[in-house]
Chains A and B, each alone.
Chain A
């Protein structure tokens, strides 16, 4: 006699044979069971009185409700375990197929573009010719790109500074912890500070010695990049980001108490407001003189000097201050929830 596995009756071949022979589904089996039990009960009872028959009816009704509920539960569980897995697999295949389709379409478009680096592309038209040939005379800036974004197309730069300011306002709304009316810190603020101190050592010697040496150099370099925005590569954005990084290093090395001595929320508000208002007013002045055919009283100076190019150094300073305050505000709002 061959050895049979203990769970042989549950493996797929016997189950398949049983399914072939039975020829009906589980619901039909349940219905047949119920019909046969009903017939038996009628035969058994015969002339029993009505109340017991009603009690048996009630019992059968409850049993059928319970079986139906068990069936629905089985379908529900299948939808949540196996059905969701199938949908997830299908979603992944479709997502990869769509992405590969998009890449092939875009590659086809890129192959049909004008050749890369050729001088007679349609993009090198008379606009760039005007900017290059007369940029230095009309704006006074040696750096053609800085002259373009702060003189010919200064309105776009105003919009971009506003986008940065709005992002800072939105992050303040989302991340700032509410403070109590008196100056005592609330429990939320204390918890946030304790949570923040979890991975940081206090008064790290290496960091403090390095920051003593590096932070003045970084701030000086940032100021240099901002002031020389119209003579050499750089400008307001990069200089502002460098200064912001220097302030973040100071905060990391020395903690919040020392930084709050010179940079608080009021400082951020006043500096951002004054810088953006100055930018808007100076461009309003240009609109006024241009619309009334007046000559601007601000001269362009000799190209190459530090204070030439009209209003461009001052606009660079304004943009640099906004960017520096915004980058520092992002960091400290994430860390502490307050400035």
Chain B
């Protein structure tokens, strides 16, 4: 059991839980989008912590040293680089949907929007 040595992964899990709670509990849509983004950041923190090795340096070849004992694992860094760009794309799409919903219903509260949709369906 590595409670104290795995503190970065534990912080990532706590951050994920906080983001998830923000997504569930608030009715304002901007808060939900911010909670989504916090969850994304937590996942990237977890992935990048998997590639870190103690005492080694960043994966850029200096002085021709190419042994595997001098650099950290470069694979999780590549995965997170893709993930950050996808995260900003999804956030931009969600924000444009929010702006269109506001123009139609003039409120940011998701419960009120659902009620208005149901009223329109009943008519």
Contact = CB atoms under 8 A, between A and B. Distances in A.
Interface centre among A144, A160, A303 (most CB of B within 10 A): A144
Determine the main DSSP class of A at the interface with B.
Answer: helix
A175 B69 CA distance: 51
Contacts of A15: none
Interface string A207-235: 00000000000000000000000001101
A103 B13 contact: yes
A240 to B, nearest CB: 9
Contacts of B3: 111
Interface of B: 1-3, 5-10, 12-14, 16-17, 20-21, 24-25, 49-54, 58-61, 66-69, 71, 73-78, 81-82, 84-86, 89-90, 92-93, 95-97, 99-100
Interface residues of A, number: 59
Contacts of B75: 123, 127-128, 131, 148
A174 B86 CA distance: 19
A295 interface: no
B60 A143 contact: yes
Given A123-B51, A145-B77, A330 B6 contact: no
Interface stretch (A41-49, A91-99, A270-278): A91-99
Given A145-B78, A148-B78, A160-B85, A115 B6 contact: yes
Nearest to A152: B78
Given A95-B25, A96-B21, A334 B96 contact: yes
A171 B92 contact: yes
B25 A92 contact: yes
For the complex of A and B, the 10 pairs showing the least CB-CB separation, nearest first, are A103-B17, A167-B89, A117-B54, A106-B13, A144-B59, A110-B9, A99-B21, A95-B24, A149-B78, A174-B96
Contact of B53 (A124, A145, A163, A166): A124
B71 to A, nearest CB: 5
Of the candidates B1, B75, B99, the one having the most CB atoms from chain A within 10 angstroms of its own CB is: B75
Interface in A242-269: none
A156 interface: yes
Which secondary structure dominates chain B's binding surface?
Answer: helix
B13 A115 contact: no
Interface in A79-124: 92, 95-96, 98-100, 102-103, 106-107, 109-119, 121, 123-124
A268 B86 CA distance: 20
19 contacts: A95-B24, A95-B25, A98-B24, A110-B6, A110-B9, A111-B2, A116-B9, A117-B52, A119-B53, A132-B71, A144-B61, A144-B71, A160-B85, A164-B85, A164-B89, A167-B89, A175-B100, A235-B81, A334-B96
A153 B78 contact: yes
A271 to B, nearest CB: 18
Contacts of A92: 25
Contacts of B14: 103, 107
Given A99-B17, A118-B54, 12 more contacts: A102-B17, A110-B9, A115-B6, A116-B2, A116-B49, A133-B68, A136-B66, A153-B78, A156-B78, A160-B86, A175-B99, A330-B92
A321 interface: no
Given A111-B3, A116-B5, A123-B51, A174 B97 contact: yes
Contacts of A334: 95-96, 99
Contact of B67 (A102, A133, A153): A133
Given A92-B25, A95-B24, A129-B68, A167 B74 contact: no
